[in-house]
Amino acid sequence: MAGPAAPTGEGWSSRTAFILAAVGAAVGLGNIWRFPTLAGENGGGAFVLVYISCIILIGLPMVLSEVLIGRHGRSDAFHSVVKVAEDSNVSKNWGIFGGIGILNAFLILTFYSVVAGWVMYYVGVMSVDLVGAIFSGDPFAGALASENPETIPSRMTDLFGNIPLLLGMHTLFMVVSIWIVARGVTDGIEKAATYLMPTFFVLLVLITLYGAFTGEFAKALSFLFTPDFSKLSPAVVNDALGQALFSMSVASAALITYGGYVSRETNLAPTAGMIAFADTGVALLAGLMIFPIVFAVGLDVAAGPTLVFQSLPIAFHNMPAGSLVGLLFFVLIFFAALTSSISLLEGVVAWAMRRFEWGRGFTAWLVGGVIFLIGIACALSLNVWSDIRPLGFIPLFEDKNIFDAIDDLVSKILLPVTAFLTAVFIGWRADKKLVKEETGLEGAMFGLWRFLIAWLAPLAVAMIFVFAVFPNLI
Ligand code: PHE
């Protein structure tokens, strides 16, 4: 039942390489910036519980479904779905959800790169600060030691007010991402993941230990793991679902595309389990890394998207060796963002290479260039275009600027719709024997996975989605 070789003949050099790349795709700004932000805004424990349920019941079965589609189709997200549909004797129109997944990746990267640009800016600020601290003879000083803590948050407003800097950072991040993808699967994506991911994990553990020893660890634990159900609403559950899908990189081409480079010998089910486990583990550890520090200096956990960029630098200001730890913290986020952005770009590039029969280098620079241009609009919506409401005619998006409109359109609408179609396709339309062989699952485990993907995932996604979009129904 082997499909034709991947169109480009490219593939991972080992199972470990695939796992590192896929975990790199999953672990990103979603885990370290968005998850703590949402958990903080939505009251902690209850959100975390719903989030973990979404991961286990929907995210994990979806990861396996997508990787299997990719490995069977051995192509990009669109053509791989078409191949599975053909081999299952069902309509090739199912390829549409693969296509929407590619669109999702395209849209996500437009704003993802802007946020990653902020991260790069903070890497710069913190590096300068640490060098200054070393030269003044106190390498273990707090971050931005000479500054008044009240003015530290203005670093971010300064950045937003400085168009050349804002666009410069976005440009730099896109150029690095495109350069890696242009180098190819083994020499670019795999190599980047092999260096960046292990370093990322070491930094994560070190900074979490630092927070545990110097911050309010017990308070963070109880905030993240004691649920207060009065905080739950359909909108919060939809947020948790959208975040679970976003964080696992499902419904957005990346996993199908990476699955296309996996060898036939790799056993997919345990591999999917490892990806889900690593991604969730990192999100929770990120919470345990950030909240003890935030609590230690009495900052607001519900600060929103600025939590990481405005609140944490104040915390690092007040903590021992904050200058050094602050730098390591932003380097860690940068590594996570980079391995994710290359997976987003690869999801689109792999499709365009095949669709238009272009070479990899040309496609990467062209596709990346178009994403870069739309990203400029996202960046400017923090500045001169802050009043533009691109989807203002839709009630749900009335008050959203370009950046937020794209983010919400993807995470609240397109991701759930794509996830729903993927689950229905794999659960109901794809050939059962083909699917079973690809997953490598046997007996009860196969039955359980199939129940989740055929029944639970589509029903849960549809219900959560309908209640969140039409809150008046209940
Ligand atoms: N999962 C990544 C994150 O958490 C983002 C991403 C989404 C990457 C979709 C690839 C595909 O940051």
Report the separation in Å between the CA atom of 104 and the middle of ligand 1, taken as the mean of its atom positions.
10
ipTM of the modeled complex: 0.98
Alpha helices in 215-358 (DSSP H): 217-225, 234-247, 254-259, 268-296, 312-318, 322-356
Q: Looking at the CA of residue 251, tell me the nearest atom of ligand 1.
A: 9
Q: What are the CA-CA distances from residue 208 to residues 121, 236, 425 (Å)?
A: 23, 27, 41
- Which residues have C-beta within 8 Å of that of residue 140, sequence separation ≥ 6? 133, 320, 321, 323, 324
Q: Does the C-beta of 29 come closer than 6 Å to ligand 1?
A: yes
Cβ-contact 30, 221 below 8 angstroms: no
Residues in the chain: 474
Q: Does the C-beta of 343 come closer than 6 Å to ligand 1?
A: yes
Residue ID of nearest Cα to ligand 1 atom 4: 30
CA dihedral sign of residues 115, 117, 118, 123: positive
Report the separation in Å between the CA atom of 410 and the middle of ligand 1, taken as the mean of its atom positions.
12
Give average pLDDT by consecutive 10-residue segment, the chain, 474 residues: 53 95 96 92 92 94 97 97 98 97 98 97 96 94 88 90 96 98 97 97 94 90 91 86 93 97 94 96 93 87 85 89 95 97 98 97 98 97 89 84 92 92 97 95 95 95 81 66
Per-position DSSP letters for 195-217, written without gaps between them: HHHHHHHHHHHHHHHHHHHHS-H
Q: Does the C-beta of 59 come closer than 6 Å to ligand 1?
A: no
Mutation choice for ligand 1 from 34, 76, 340, CB with most ligand atoms inside 8 A: 340
Q: Supply 401's token pair.
A: 């600027």
Report the separation in Å between the CA atom of 253 and the middle of ligand 1, taken as the mean of its atom positions.
10
Residue ID of nearest Cα to ligand 1 atom 6: 249
Q: Does the C-beta of 323 come closer than 6 Å to ligand 1?
A: no
Q: Does the C-beta of 31 come closer than 6 Å to ligand 1?
A: yes
Report the separation in Å between the CA atom of 249 and the middle of ligand 1, taken as the mean of its atom positions.
4
Measured from the Cβ of residue 161, the count of other Cβ atoms closer than 10 Å reads: 12
Cβ-contact 49, 361 below 8 angstroms: no
Report the separation in Å between the CA atom of 187 and the middle of ligand 1, taken as the mean of its atom positions.
21
Report the separation in Å between the CA atom of 405 and the middle of ligand 1, taken as the mean of its atom positions.
18
Report the separation in Å between the CA atom of 337 and the middle of ligand 1, taken as the mean of its atom positions.
8
Task: Give, in degrees to the nearest 5, the angle at Cα 95 between 94 and 100.
Answer: 105
Q: Does the C-beta of 247 come closer than 6 Å to ligand 1?
A: yes
Cβ-contact 453, 283 below 8 angstroms: no
Report the separation in Å between the CA atom of 260 and the middle of ligand 1, taken as the mean of its atom positions.
18
Q: Does the C-beta of 254 come closer than 6 Å to ligand 1?
A: yes
Report the separation in Å between the CA atom of 28 and the middle of ligand 1, taken as the mean of its atom positions.
6
Q: Looking at the CA of residue 31, tell me the nearest atom of ligand 1.
A: 4
Return d(Cα 318, Cα 150) in angstroms, integer. Answer: 12
Cβ-contact 43, 295 below 8 angstroms: no
Report the separation in Å between the CA atom of 323 and the middle of ligand 1, taken as the mean of its atom positions.
29
Q: Does the C-beta of 249 come closer than 6 Å to ligand 1?
A: yes
Q: Does the C-beta of 214 come closer than 6 Å to ligand 1?
A: no
What is the CATH T-level fold of the domain 15-473, as seen in this structure? Amino acid/polyamine transporter I (1.20.1740)
Q: Does the C-beta of 105 come closer than 6 Å to ligand 1?
A: yes
Return d(Cα 250, Cα 64) in angstroms, integer. Answer: 10
Q: Supply 174's token pair.
A: 């896109």
